[in-house]
Structure 1
């Protein structure tokens, strides 16, 4: 229920709970070895507790239980916090023990299946590529691929300080605004609760004292939350000319993580390697290779997502959704080309200096 009491609880309590749990969780994580250690692919110094995702999850879950009439939409809570909780637990175990990729994929498929069985299903393409309503088998397969694909794509964004948290904050804020305008009040309150929790996380994540990381527990869960919220909104947004703009905005949220992951997978396959073998070819790595700091890289990537949404908003009355997607794809390809050229120039500049 969208009451002033629930709105105040959603805005204030997650931050309070996060801060209350922070020091105990930090001490337990260090004692259990739930920390990230520096290596050849990581730039941070010293061990950093991987508790950000756990604290975000717990602070929002406890907040939701404090709200009035919380059981009215229990079916939604069940999927987000029970299935999402299992995904968070898997992330914690992966952070600590490095679970095999095949096991993680199997668990993600099972949880995606549970979400689909509870109504989180893509039923239409809304005219994209001339496709509208989908048959049930296609609805199931596309929904399964969308959920698992985006969860992993968002997980791969967690490569530099602040990026995954900032992109999640941006995405959830946009989703919350769309939920509010669509009258999806319960989803709005859930998403609103995540905003203060992520803000507090970012303060510690980008700081130097008491630094923490999100870990797979956080990136997997937030990816799950974002894609399920997007699918849910696709079902509640009425289909008309104005709402197609909102569908395009939803696609903007998913666009950068998915397109960057597909690009990297294709590069790995083209080189004859495994598509799942880690490397330094992601979008944020290209920014770093061009000489940008992690903070500037994060700002530019989130700003690119904001730019994409502005393109959708201002082109909505001029182009159909297919042309809008084509424009976004062209912008993304251009960005990658410029970053690769910039990294190439920087590399040769350094070589000339050494010579």
Structure 2
């Protein structure tokens, strides 16, 4: 039985990886021939044209493989001895696929011709509403802020807000090569393992499918620069669908619903800790914009990856450090909730996150305060002389 359980998640993972590896080069070729490039401007971290439709591969792979998985599990009563109640969770996956298709259409339209933020906001709102409609919503806070059960009239709007926050956080963190795809890949793998431990097999499959399809994209996005004309971006098509995917997984794990998985005291902290970096970063950026009396939706260079880059870190190191920070918080929280309360864990998170930014700000300030020294070919000045 252990071998069968491993195959349940390994086969979809390998299929997703294979499909991603097969489709992304084809998308790259079409994008390059049709000159569908990401624009170059002052906020961009790249200095030449790069195709940006890599995310077109994501939703079709997820929808096809999950439809196949749902049919096999539900229609043929596959692995009935695992006590998988597909009847209760089937609507959740059907509306998940509906939401992915909706955001896929909006994202590809935005990548090709541009879509105003108002219409993207409406699409995100409608898509986020699909989760409570399907029966999936945050119904228990597990003692966070000393709150337990949440009635539908509070939990459902909170779920819609949470989904929209996550979608936008994932979209905004997509600023340098490998960062967005790396964060979602790490989150999907962690949540996939947690779902598998709880025998929530359809959710585990979706998590591993998401991680599997991101591996070839990560390769082309990060290592494509070393290959002649092979680098590609995911675009809004990718970031929107990935945001919705990881929001679905996080809310599914945090929901107190025995048809999804057994009750776990630290479920809500474990679920959302994998998204701590993008969500807390976008919250900080919004606060900074609000404090400076700027539009909350006005683009700037105040995200965590911009700060690393401004300190002189390379794109590759910036991406690696942020992924390590996200991995640290994930492991720290998932282990900590087994021994201490959710409130204490979240308080420790807030302290660590604040200390990180305080130190970061001091280093950034001291670096900016260093006097600029201009040298010409006839002048030599040592740091001690300066």
TM-based fold match above 0.5: yes
Q: Indicate whether 1:259 and 2:283 are aligned.
A: no
Q: Indicate whether 1:283 and 2:304 are aligned.
A: yes
Change in CA separation of 1:68 and 1:224 when aligned onto 2, cut-off 3 Å: closer
Aligned counterparts, 1:88-103, within 5 A: 88-103=104-119
Match of 1:180 among 190, 196, 215: 196
Gapped regions of structure 1 (runs ≥ 5): none
1:16-62 CA-partner distances (Å, limit 9, x unpaired): 22232233322332344432022111121322112221112223333
Q: Using the alignment, how far apart are the partners of 2:25 and 2:253 within structure 1?
A: 36
> Root-mean-square deviation (CA), in Å?
2.3
Match of 1:41 among 36, 40, 43: 43
1:182-227 CA-partner distances (Å, limit 9, x unpaired): 1111111121112221111010001213101111111111111111
Q: Indicate whether 1:30 and 2:32 are aligned.
A: yes
Q: Using the alignment, how far apart are the partners of 2:294 and 2:343 within structure 1?
A: 33
Change in CA separation of 1:46 and 1:350 when aligned onto 2, cut-off 3 Å: farther
SS at match of 2:97: helix
| TM-score for both structures, normalised by structure 1 | 0.92
Q: Using the alignment, how far apart are the partners of 2:9 and 2:128 within structure 1?
A: 30
Q: Indicate whether 1:106 and 2:122 are aligned.
A: yes
8 Å CA contact 1:64–1:70 kept in 2: the answer is no
Residue in structure 2 matched with residue 339 of structure 1 by the alignment? 360
Residue in structure 1 matched with residue 100 of structure 2 by the alignment? 84
SS at match of 1:347: helix
8 Å CA contact 1:283–1:336 kept in 2: the answer is no
Q: Using the alignment, how far apart are the partners of 2:277 and 2:367 within structure 1?
A: 24
Change in CA separation of 1:3 and 1:76 when aligned onto 2, cut-off 3 Å: farther
8 Å CA contact 2:142–2:266 kept in 1: the answer is no
* Deviation of 1:313 (Å): 4.1
* Deviation of 1:63 (Å): 3.3
Q: Indicate whether 1:223 and 2:243 are aligned.
A: yes
SS at match of 1:244: coil
Q: Using the alignment, how far apart are the partners of 1:104 and 1:166 within structure 2?
A: 24
Structure with greater helix percent? 1
1:95-130 CA-partner distances (Å, limit 9, x unpaired): 222211111111110111122100121111111111
SS at match of 2:262: coil
* Deviation of 1:317 (Å): 5.0
8 Å CA contact 1:260–1:283 kept in 2: the answer is yes
Match of 2:271 among 250, 253, 266: 250
* Deviation of 1:69 (Å): 3.8
SS at match of 2:302: coil
Q: Using the alignment, how far apart are the partners of 2:339 and 2:251 within structure 1?
A: 26
1:124-151 CA-partner distances (Å, limit 9, x unpaired): 1111111111122111211111011111
Change in CA separation of 1:71 and 1:313 when aligned onto 2, cut-off 3 Å: closer
Q: Using the alignment, how far apart are the partners of 1:175 and 1:4 within structure 2?
A: 15
Change in CA separation of 1:36 and 1:4 when aligned onto 2, cut-off 3 Å: same
Residue in structure 1 matched with residue 383 of structure 2 by the alignment? none
- How many residue pairs match? The answer is 352
Q: Using the alignment, how far apart are the partners of 2:41 and 2:236 within structure 1?
A: 17
8 Å CA contact 2:37–2:52 kept in 1: the answer is yes
